[in-house]
Amino acid sequence: MDDKAMLTRLRAARVVPVVRMRSTANAARAVGWLRATGLGVFEITMTVPGAVDLIAQLARDPALLVGAGTVPDAAAARACLAAGARFIVAPWVDAALAAPCREAGAALMLGALTPTEVRAALAAGADVVKIFPASSAGGPAHIRALASVFPDVAFCPTGGIAPGQVADYLAAGAAFVGIGGALVDEKAAAAGDQAAITAAARAVMA
């Protein structure tokens, strides 16, 4: 699967759960519950302890599309790609991440907020521009404004997005949406509250 095919799959998924937890066990548990609801794309952030090992574990399942988030540098990107990550995400612009992604045939998402930053992300090799933090920057209205200037850019808003807001972001011009704590809730995972995480996933998929 090349980066264009991955972009097609990401668009079709509409939502990418962003797994950012302080416990590897809780992260794996939450992914399992979300997968059971039908979600098949996951971003494992590098802030999860043992993130590379978790990526490798999940990537062994051909039904899943697994990426790495908050990737700090090219060395970390290469480690994640070697483990099976198919997309690399950073909430900033770092041109050094492009080469490892191109070599691996993986997609690259770089972060931006303003039109100038969007242009910088594209120039740095981004296949997708991650708009972060989306909710505090104006929500769907901000995405709509950016999409009017960059109609051919794939935007992935992330940050503070609730499950019930997905449709609004997609209607505003987002290619797909990243959702973290509102979907992959660490307290619910730690408490074994599968029902809460399943309910959030169903709200997203609705």
Quote the CA–CA distance of 82 and 87 in Å, as a whole number: 12
For this structure, is 4 an active site residue? no
Write down the residue that tokens 């995400």 correspond to. Answer: 89
- Can 43 be counted among the known catalytic residues? yes
The catalytic position among 43, 117, 186, 187 is 43
Catalytic residue selected from 103, 130, 186, 187? 130
Q: Look at the alpha carbons of 192, 80, 94, 118 in this order and tell me if their dihedral is positive or negative.
A: negative
Catalytic residue positions?
43, 130
